[in-house]
């Protein structure tokens, strides 16, 4: 209970303020989107003046990087947890869609328009390959009786991104298609491009995956 956690009170206080800043940043992000994320507004909502925030995050970009990292981690954990609890590829897709619908701005933070000056840090790429690895795992169980395509052959020679995964190229192909179709339908839906069209985006989502997974 009253474990000191091995940290000095200053460090604990600092960690908590950092967490509070991030929490308010997420709230602001969820309501107004990334472009309207304001350090000043966060500081005022925390009861302190603007520049005080720079003790905790050196710049707006550094806070954004932290948010992106957290979002990636959240998605990777979700995908991994879903897979480890026995979900198949379709189950993963559903989990990802729910995750995105729960906070569209968080999804766009990762997969939306890249911000001009920003460059993702090294570890987000690591998490990204981690996600891809799980996606590949989720596709190894699927049948491979479809005829091999020329892209399969190309992937055979360009499978470094699979990080040594032993799955056949056709499976890597399926994982990539999975990712592309999930992203395609999901981002069009989240951006509102299906808004006035009347049909149910969830059914298009499911149909795109069905077409990929059954065969």
Partner DNA sequence: ATCTAGAGTTAGAAGCTATAGCTAACCCTT
Partner DNA sequence: AAGGGTTAGCTATAGCTTCTAACTCTAGAT
| Residues near DNA (CB under 7 A) | 8-10, 13-14, 17, 37-41, 43, 47-52, 54-56, 58-61
**DSSP summary character for residue 181:** H
Q: Does 124 bind a copy of itself (CB under 8 A)?
A: no
Owner of token pair 């891809």: 132
The item of a copy of itself, DNA, none sharing an interface with residue 61, based on CB under 5 to 8 Å by kind, is: DNA
Distance separating alpha carbons of residues 195 and 201, to the nearest angstrom: 9
Q: What are phi and psi of 150, to 5 degrees?
A: -70, -30
Tokens in use for 208?
């795109």
Tell me how far, at minimum, the Cβ of 112 lies from DNA, in Å.
Answer: 19
Distance separating alpha carbons of residues 35 and 112, to the nearest angstrom: 12
Which residue number, 11 or 98, has a Cβ lying nearer to DNA? 11
Tell me how far, at minimum, the Cβ of 85 lies from a copy of itself, in Å.
Answer: 26
Which run of H or E residues covers position 113? none
The item of a copy of itself, DNA, none sharing an interface with residue 126, based on CB under 5 to 8 Å by kind, is: none
In contact, 121 and 65? CB cutoff 8 Å: yes
Tokens in use for 1?
């209970």
The item of a copy of itself, DNA, none sharing an interface with residue 108, based on CB under 5 to 8 Å by kind, is: a copy of itself
Q: What are phi and psi of 101, to 5 degrees?
A: -65, -30
Answer for which of 112, 142, 144, 168 binds a copy of itself (CB under 8 A) is 112
The item of DNA, a copy of itself, none sharing an interface with residue 200, based on CB under 5 to 8 Å by kind, is: a copy of itself
The item of a copy of itself, DNA, none sharing an interface with residue 196, based on CB under 5 to 8 Å by kind, is: a copy of itself
Q: How many residues does the chain have?
A: 215
Q: Does 139 bind a copy of itself (CB under 8 A)?
A: no
Which residue number, 38 or 177, has a Cβ lying nearer to DNA? 38
């Amino acid at each position: 209970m009253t474990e000191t956690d091995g940290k000095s009170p200053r460090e604990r206080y600092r960690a908590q303020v950092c967490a509070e800043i991030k929490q308010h940043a997420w709230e602001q992000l969820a309501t107004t989107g990334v472009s309207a994320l304001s350090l000043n507004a966060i500081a005022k909502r925390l009861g302190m003046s603007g520049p005080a925030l720079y003790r905790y995050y050196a710049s707006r970009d550094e806070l954004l990087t932290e948010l992106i990292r957290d979002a990636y981690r959240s998605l990777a954990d979700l995908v991994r947890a879903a897979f480890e609890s026995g979900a198949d590829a379709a189950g993963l897709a559903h989990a990802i869609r729910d995750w995105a619908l729960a906070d569209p701005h968080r999804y766009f933070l990762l997969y939306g328009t890249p911000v001009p000056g920003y460059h993702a840090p090294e570890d987000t790429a690591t998490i990204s390959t981690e996600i891809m690895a799980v996606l590949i795992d989720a596709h190894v169980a699927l049948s491979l009786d479809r005829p091999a395509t020329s892209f399969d052959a190309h992937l055979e020679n360009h499978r470094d991104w699979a990080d040594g995964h032993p799955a056949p190229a056709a499976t890597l192909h399926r994982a990539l298609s999975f990712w592309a179709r999930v992203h395609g339908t999901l981002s069009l839906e989240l951006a509102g491009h299906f808004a006035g069209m009347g049909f149910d985006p969830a059914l298009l989502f499911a149909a795109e995956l069905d077409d990929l997974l059954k065969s």
